[in-house]
Copies of this chain bind each other. A is one copy, B any other.
């Protein structure tokens, strides 16, 4: 099968959304300031000069430093569906801005040299940073391509939205997490997912013969990305088309329920499951159950495959503030301003955390005692923090003990949180410590 350059580049994009710890770490010599798309003048001019263009056809639009522009412009590069806000119920965020955060210091876990919070913004190629404490915004910054009204690629944080949608349907009695997948999606009967439970899919403890090892050109993730690519395929292509067809080809390896394996196909199976039980598209469900409920200011975007199927594993783009609203609803047991907008049971299920033993088998060095439940990451640290996380530095980090939520949007050159965490997680803890001390 011949992959055109454009298709291959596009596949890289989809693939990179799936990685927590990519092995294909690209070298680069540009700092945050040097790679700022405004500095580089990417896509500036009518038309932009050839060497400043970021386009689908060319098409390494998600290579660094081009991705520093692309993360804010996904819908201009790809077909997308809208995850609609409620046009009649917008909830302004409350503000209590607090000076001093930028000067906070912390020790990165891979260095003995102190770093300030402000330095960590540049170290992580941060596009947007928002900190909430006790429900109020105390810190908010926009950098690079981002401003307060621009949707930014959320990458694998999409999965946490998908997991939340599933938990809401469970709480509503419309989805049974003990059900076998084949009883909901007969098309998956002969795939690895057929005899897995919905819960195993939600917690990614399915046993799959499936590789997301990016350095391997024969890894399954490439075939998956290629199938999902909305661009027309060459006539000679006879493989699966779209997410749903591809998922049917994934085979089993081992026993379900024993080990965590971070594989994006689970999220897309879950996206399929929630659509099957409700007869609604994922973008519609995400709007009806979450986005229109939490007081969002803007509709979100989600990329779709060639059949219009939303990419439940990584296609979301949203504003920093709207992701903060999602964080608020999840941190506050489904309440926004005293109104129960999401079932408390759904949030409680996420908050219980996942199977630490199963998780430990996956070997995530920056989360030695972590777990994964309903597509949310649990750190099991002293503060009980849990998070939505996406490659290139995306997070909604919820610290219940400190009553703190940190939302970061970023375009780090490396598609691996393992590289980003050392200057991130200790920074988050430093802010938490600072806020807890202040509150005493």
Contacts and interface: CB of A to CB of B under 8 A. Distances in A.
Contacts of A84: 149
Given A76-B81, A232-B59, A306-B55, A275 B46 contact: yes
Nearest to A241: B57
Interface string A39-76: 00001001110000111110100000000000001011
Interface string A124-161: 00000000000000000000000001000000000000
A46 B272 contact: yes
A298 B87 contact: yes
A307 interface: yes
A202 B297 CA distance: 36
A29 interface: no
Contacts of A267: none
B47 A245 contact: yes
Given A87-B298, A231-B232, A48 B79 contact: no
B149 A87 contact: yes
Contacts of A47: 242, 244-245, 307, 309
A84 to B, nearest CB: 7
Tell me the interface secondary structure of chain A in the complex: loop
Contacts of A80: 75-76, 80
Contact of A75 (B4, B7, B79, B276): B79
Contacts of A56: 79, 230-232, 306
A267 to B, nearest CB: 15
A358 interface: no
Nearest to A275: B46
A77 interface: yes
A230 B6 CA distance: 12
A72 B383 CA distance: 47
Given A46-B276, A75-B79, A4 B308 contact: no
A223 interface: no
A48 B308 CA distance: 10
A306 B298 CA distance: 26
Given A87-B298, A309-B47, A6 B232 contact: yes
A244 B59 CA distance: 19
Nearest to A274: B46
A434 interface: no
Contacts of A81: 75-76
Contacts of A294: none
A246 to B, nearest CB: 11
A250 interface: no
Contacts of A304: 76
A82 interface: yes
A275 B46 CA distance: 7
A236 to B, nearest CB: 13
Interface string A279-320: 001000000000000000111000010111100000000000
A380 interface: no
Contacts of A149: 84, 87
A95 interface: no
Contacts of A306: 55-57
Contacts of A59: 232
A55 B87 contact: no
A122 interface: no
14 contacts: A6-B232, A7-B232, A47-B242, A47-B244, A55-B308, A56-B231, A56-B232, A76-B81, A77-B79, A78-B79, A84-B149, A87-B90, A231-B232, A299-B299
Interface of A: 4-7, 43, 46-48, 53-57, 59, 73, 75-82, 84, 87, 90, 149, 230-233, 241-242, 244-245, 272, 275-276, 281, 297-299, 304, 306-309
Given A46-B272, A57-B233, 19 more contacts: A7-B232, A46-B281, A47-B309, A53-B307, A55-B306, A56-B232, A57-B306, A59-B232, A73-B308, A75-B80, A75-B82, A76-B304, A77-B79, A77-B308, A78-B79, A79-B79, A80-B80, A87-B298, A231-B232
